[in-house]
Amino acid sequence: MRGLSKRHSSLADSSIMANSGLWVGILTALTALGASYITARATSRAVLAQARTTTTAETLREQRNRRRSTYREMMSCAHAFSEVTWQIDDVDATPDRESKDRLLTQMDERIGPTIGNMNRATHEVRLDGPAEVSAAAEHVRQMARRVQPLLKALIGDDSPDRRHEYDAAYLDFREAFVAFIGLARQALEVKE
């Protein structure tokens, strides 16, 4: 009997060892599955974060490029407007009233379309923003529109007061334009 009991005890020990081995195997497998799950989630989060970062960077780059193009167009329109107003020097150099009035009339005819182009460019800046740059573009446009009737008033008028009003309005336009350029430049700066 003792031999049987020993054998039975030995079988029981083997069974316990087998069961322990099975549990160790199950725990090891579960640990591996848990670790794999945690690694997969971390990898997934890292990939998602990278995708978001890439998308944000691309969106900012597209916005900056769109703004740059819009701001350049506004600057081009303001420059075209200025080219017309600079002809006042030619008017000043002309000796007779008839020639002055002819040049002023030509300037008046040319200034209208430049303001029309500036109106369109200002609307584009409003769409692309930001608000400070949009407001500055609108101010440039308003100052240009203020110059136009003062230019027309110079036709047939030699009074220094009219010329002073025109010059002051042009300087206000110029200051507004310089302010716009500064704000546009700030809006295009890369933010990291």
As a whole number of angstroms, the distance between CA 121 and CA 128 comes to 11
Residue 116: predicted pLDDT = 95
Tokens of 140: 């440039």
Spatial separation of the C-alpha atoms in residues 72 and 184, rounded to whole Å: 9
Which residue's entry shows tokens 């075209």?
80
pTM over 0.85: no
What does the pLDDT read at residue 8?
55
Distance CA 15, CA 7 (A): 12
- Count of alpha carbons within 13 Å of 139, Cβ hemisphere only? 18
pLDDT of residue 51: 63
> Which pLDDT score, from 0 to 100, does residue 37 have?
65
CA angle at 147 for the pair 145 and 150, rounded to the nearest 5°? 120
- HSE at residue 43, side-chain half, CA atoms within 13 A, is 6
Record: fold of 65-188 = Four Helix Bundle (Hemerythrin (Met), subunit A) (1.20.120)
pLDDT, tens digit only, all 192 positions of the chain? 555 555 555 555 555 555 666 666 666 666 766 667 676 666 667 666 666 666 667 767 888 888 899 999 999 999 999 999 999 999 999 999 999 999 999 999 999 999 999 999 999 999 888 999 999 999 999 999 999 999 999 999 988 999 999 999 999 999 999 999 999 999 888 564
Looking at residue 57, what is its pLDDT?
72
DSSP string, 83-138: HHHTTHHHHHH--SHHHHHHHHHHHHHHHHHHHHHHHHHHHHHHHH--HHHHHHHH
